[in-house]
Structure 1
């Protein structure tokens, strides 16, 4: 199937600038449509949804206020066809207004791109060079950019980088203990989930005022997971590094791992680079240890199982929590203490039992949890006497991407 040129009205086809945000993964595309004419930019989109199960037998389309329904995608080019479906559905809701730009969440900007940038052929070529550093996300975001550049060159494509928020961290935090030539070649700690942390910098300041400018650790816990140490609402350290494999144990990713273990694994199992990459990205983490699932809410249901299944479930969750506790403590050391701990993203926002176990491990820092507030996913879940303010704050990466895109378009017009 091909995408009809009229499927997404752009500049010159109507009035009223809309920003379409695309967040592309290997098997799903999330989308959100924002009113770029409103000032300030509304936090909630006019409409959002996702296509998931792309490339599999059970793809479906979900949207705001409507239950997901199955869709049939072209078997040869399912990703391209999913984009076509989104464009057609968006076009149906425009009511004569125009899409002036498409914002893309791009995970890796390397050492060259920190600010949102309008993508042309040269920028696209640069960004393709970072695909090996973020293979779960980078190629799919860039495929969407490339398709739209080809088919709708009249609509601006803007890349918004997950690495951008961390450009404030000191060089000593970026530097890897490799021969210094590696630094000159761009091997350094970049950090990720930057759109989420950028939203936290805004939302926490609004909700907590001056307290948010203190020594804060934000825990972005989803299928991918990382921590960010913030002071003055800026990133000073983070757990993910050169790639999105570093730091915390994740749903299917290892997190920080002795490189000697990787060398040994390749040697004894005679794995190619591609094969070992698949193990590290897709077969490890919670899924690999538990053998059950990549999701804590599923694994916890098996903790009481007898035999090896129960033991592996318990060990997977214990290791998952312990790694978060250890890394939080290490970031607290960098900050010189801890004033605020914030949970966000899918697990962070909705898994009370994960938050409870983490906070129990951080009691030595003065973290005291209010059990009822925690069960209610309240904005503040710490007790009054807790030395650490413990918070739950929903993230909004799509809004940040729309905001950055508007800023990018405005600066290009001035230039």
Structure 2
């Protein structure tokens, strides 16, 4: 069985084709990354991405199942079969994740038309955090708003699930310990994990909150938004654009939200942005550790977390009081275990594979539906 994973992010498409058997064994045939053009209309962009994908060596086999990453699943507990009705339902959540949800749904609609005979499955970044205790899901707002969906959902669930799979391979005895995972990229978030389950995370109702990000501010005094509107006369559209696209590293540096460009810059504003980012992540790690009574393992993933030693070092140097110490040589070499000999916390660099997690969830859904279809009385 061939399963195609379509992982649409805010800057492009990652895709992977897997062979899967009935026992759930996966073999990744190949993968590819395709950058998207943000200026094009969503439907046009989706069609262009799929057309480019069709010309790649990736599709040397027709998929039987297509797995789609959808960032916001609301209260959904797991992967679901993707239909036109489900797409319409998920579209309601687009305002909560505008950089991701609408492009992902546009791609899914285009894929349904391109492969109408395939089974299409939606997997969600929010489902991983359904294990969070109630105290970490509530905002300090009236219950009536919580009941209407104004609550903390959390994101990057596929990355965190893959990170845990990496730890289970690297250090099997540590997988049930107190773990903080730091998924750091254009969007960044942290997760506190105990006994293999999400306990708390830095993002909330939308992917805007938490630590500083490439173009997003992270957690912000809500009074700032009211001031922008009331005192400065900014429109809802202007504020929306500011918070999603013109804040974070881009705003602080006045140059770019791309960490690679900032590291190559001689501007003091660029280095200030890097310092603010590292401080924000370090504070977030400490906050996540407080939710699980300490920390035994710290894991880094994502484009920054996995590939930028200088940023990892800047973060970890602020957390030496927690027992987090890195080996400079191992860190510079991007080794999987970068813990110093004197560290009491194990620190890993995790080569995550979100597409594999997507396929695993899609196969679990297929197996569950098969059991239901063959149950007595069906």
**Quick check: TM above 0.5?**
yes
After superposition, residues 23-38 of structure 1 pair within 5 angstroms as 23-37=7-21
With over 3 angstroms needed to count, the CA separation of the structure-2 counterparts of 1:378 and 1:38, relative to structure 1, is farther
Q: Which runs of 5+ in 1 are unaligned?
A: 1-16, 57-72
**C-alpha distance in 2 between matches for 1:363 and 1:78:** 46
1:396 matched to which residue of 2?
353
**C-alpha distance in 1 between matches for 2:175 and 2:59:** 41
After superposition, residues 135-146 of structure 1 pair within 5 angstroms as 135-146=98-109
1:298 offset after TM fit, Å?
A: 2.0
1:70 matched to which residue of 2?
none
1:366 matched to which residue of 2?
323
With over 3 angstroms needed to count, the CA separation of the structure-2 counterparts of 1:232 and 1:139, relative to structure 1, is same
2:229 matched to which residue of 1?
266
1:201 offset after TM fit, Å?
A: 1.9
Measured against aligned partners, the alpha-carbon deviations of 1:92-148 in whole angstroms (never above 9, x if no partner) come to: 512xxx41111001000002x120000112211211111011111111111122223
Contact 1:339–1:388 at 8 Å: present in 2 too? yes
1:182 matched to which residue of 2?
145
TM-score computed with the length of structure 2 as normaliser: 0.93
RMSD of Structure 2 on Structure 1 (CA)? 2.0
**C-alpha distance in 1 between matches for 2:149 and 2:126:** 13
2:203 matched to which residue of 1?
240
**C-alpha distance in 2 between matches for 1:369 and 1:186:** 41
Q: Confirm whether residue 314 of structure 1 aligns to residue 271 of structure 2.
A: yes
Q: Confirm whether residue 192 of structure 1 aligns to residue 155 of structure 2.
A: yes
Measured against aligned partners, the alpha-carbon deviations of 1:243-299 in whole angstroms (never above 9, x if no partner) come to: 000101001111100010111122233222222111001001011100122122321
Contact 1:215–1:335 at 8 Å: present in 2 too? yes
**C-alpha distance in 1 between matches for 2:170 and 2:263:** 32
Q: Secondary structure at the match of 1:247?
A: coil
Q: Confirm whether residue 80 of structure 1 aligns to residue 56 of structure 2.
A: no
TM-score computed with the length of structure 1 as normaliser: 0.85
After superposition, residues 367-382 of structure 1 pair within 5 angstroms as 367-382=324-339
**C-alpha distance in 1 between matches for 2:301 and 2:310:** 14
With over 3 angstroms needed to count, the CA separation of the structure-2 counterparts of 1:79 and 1:92, relative to structure 1, is closer
1:348 matched to which residue of 2?
305
Q: Secondary structure at the match of 1:46?
A: strand
Displaced runs of 4+ in structure 1, greater than 6 A?
Answer: 73-76
After superposition, residues 31-180 of structure 1 pair within 5 angstroms as 31-37=15-21, 40-42=24-26, 45-55=28-38, 77-89=44-56, 93-94=60-61, 98-111=62-75, 113-180=76-143
**C-alpha distance in 2 between matches for 1:155 and 1:330:** 44
**C-alpha distance in 1 between matches for 2:13 and 2:223:** 36
Contact 1:54–1:82 at 8 Å: present in 2 too? no
Contact 2:31–2:58 at 8 Å: present in 1 too? no
2:3 matched to which residue of 1?
19
Contact 1:18–1:37 at 8 Å: present in 2 too? no
Q: Which runs of 5+ in 2 are unaligned?
A: 373-378
1:186 offset after TM fit, Å?
A: 1.0
Q: Secondary structure at the match of 2:203?
A: coil
1:237 offset after TM fit, Å?
A: 0.6
**C-alpha distance in 1 between matches for 2:160 and 2:130:** 12
Contact 1:54–1:79 at 8 Å: present in 2 too? no
1:327 matched to which residue of 2?
284
Contact 2:43–2:107 at 8 Å: present in 1 too? no
Contact 2:36–2:45 at 8 Å: present in 1 too? no
Q: Secondary structure at the match of 2:63?
A: strand
**C-alpha distance in 1 between matches for 2:296 and 2:191:** 14
Contact 2:128–2:158 at 8 Å: present in 1 too? yes
**C-alpha distance in 2 between matches for 1:152 and 1:345:** 30
**C-alpha distance in 2 between matches for 1:272 and 1:360:** 41
With over 3 angstroms needed to count, the CA separation of the structure-2 counterparts of 1:92 and 1:195, relative to structure 1, is closer
1:152 offset after TM fit, Å?
A: 3.1
2:376 matched to which residue of 1?
none
1:155 offset after TM fit, Å?
A: 0.9
Q: Secondary structure at the match of 1:269?
A: coil
With over 3 angstroms needed to count, the CA separation of the structure-2 counterparts of 1:26 and 1:231, relative to structure 1, is closer
Q: Confirm whether residue 217 of structure 1 aligns to residue 180 of structure 2.
A: yes
1:88 offset after TM fit, Å?
A: 4.5
Contact 1:343–1:393 at 8 Å: present in 2 too? yes
